[in-house]
Structure formats: structure tokens, C-alpha cells
Structure 1
Amino acid sequence: MADHDEDDYRGPATMSAEDREIAVEVVLRGHFQPIDGRFHWYGRLAAQQAVEEFAAHRKKDVVLRTPTGEAIGTLSDPDPWGRYRITGTGRPPFPIPTELT
């Protein structure tokens, strides 16, 4: 199993954009991409009516805030179970190791 196959963060978060804030549950992971030299993070928001109404099946930039950080990400396509995908690059909204072990 590769290191980036496990969840890096699973739990509560707040998604905000357009003067609206929604409490969500997320599963996030990420990895450093040596090709472009940036950290890429991604995951899914748990299915809920408020997210579906907000997203309306369109891509949207949002701020995702967890208890340990925040980052700008792009909310995109829902999966067949109604969980919307979120992606971002750079510092993620969860802690990452900064030292090699």
C-alpha cells in the first residue's frame, strides 16, 4: 500500500464561499507531486442536501477549514452517492509531515 492511499484527514470541516458557510464531514488525502513540485490534496465531502444545493452541479472555488487549517479548493463533480469531490494544491487544510523519517 502506498503512503498516499491512507486518509490524511477524516472529520468535521467548514466549507465557505459566496457569504455562505456549511458544516461538512470530509475525507482528505494528499501527496507531493515531483513533476510540478507542488503538494496536491483531494477528497470527498459527505453527501448532504446543503452541499448539493450550494454546488448545483457546478465547479466552485471554496475555502475549506478544518480544526487544524484552511485552504482554497475547488468543489467539483459528485459521485453516484452524492459526495462532492474537492481538490487543491499547496498547503492543505490538514497537517502534513515536514520532516523525512
Structure 2
Amino acid sequence: MEDEGYEGLAVLVVEGRTEFTLRATLIGGFQPLDGRYRWYGRLEAHEELTRLVGDRSAGVELRTTEGHAVGRITEPDLWNRYRIEGTSVPPFRVPFGLDEVEP
């Protein structure tokens, strides 16, 4: 079975006021120690996003064609791609039953 996740276009809303359309690569999984689903990934470099956020972290909402979720972006990597992470319902479809998982 492949990891649950999403790769494609997304809308990132930074601190409830500024929207950016960019590509996101996301994965996630259930964490049995705390009983929560954690999702994370990378956002493609976006010049305007870098100008707005810089090297700090920020609260965000991420919307994809499969859902939306609240998360946080952290400092960018060397290529100005921000890491994004969240807890609970992810912004992508998650198969919950074995009958929904593709072989």
C-alpha cells in the first residue's frame, strides 16, 4: 500500500487574509501514541509567499480539491519551499477501510 497523501494544486491562506495558489506534496498517518492523525509536506517555492512570510512560521489554511485543513508552515528550505504540517483531519482524502485501499 502506498502512503496516503496528495500531490497537486492547492490554495494556501496565510493568517486568514492572503491567498496563494501553488503545488503541494502532502502525506500523513495515524500516530498511535497520541491517537491523532498528523499530516505534513512541502509547498512549491512562491516568490510572493516568501516576501510575506520570510523565515518565520505562520498559521495557514490549505485547500485542495479533496478538502481543507488548518496547519502551520515553518521556515523554508534552501529552495524556498515551505514545510507545512497539521494535526487531525487532513486536506486530502484518507481511506478509512481496507475495502477502500487499492492493492
TM-score, normalised relative to structure 2: 0.88
| Structure 1: 5+ residue stretches without partners | none
Tell whether 2:49 aligns with 1:55: no
CA contact (8 A) 1:22 1:51 kept: yes
Whether the 8 Å CA contact 2:54–2:75 is kept in 1: the answer is no
Aligned partners of 1:55 and 1:75 also within 8 Å: no
CA RMSD between the two structures: 1.5
Give the Cα–Cα distance (whole angstroms) in 1 for the partners of residues 53 and 65 of structure 2. Answer: 23
Identical positions, percent? 41
The corresponding residue for 2:24 is 26
SS at match of 1:53: helix
Find the counterpart in structure 1 of residue 84 from structure 2. Answer: 86
Which residue is 1:12 aligned to?
9
Gaps of 5+ in 2: none
In 2, Cα distance between equivalents of 1:29 and 1:95: 10
Tell me which stretches of 4 or more aligned residues in structure 1 moved more than 2 Å.
none
State the TM-score, normalized to the length of structure 1.
0.89
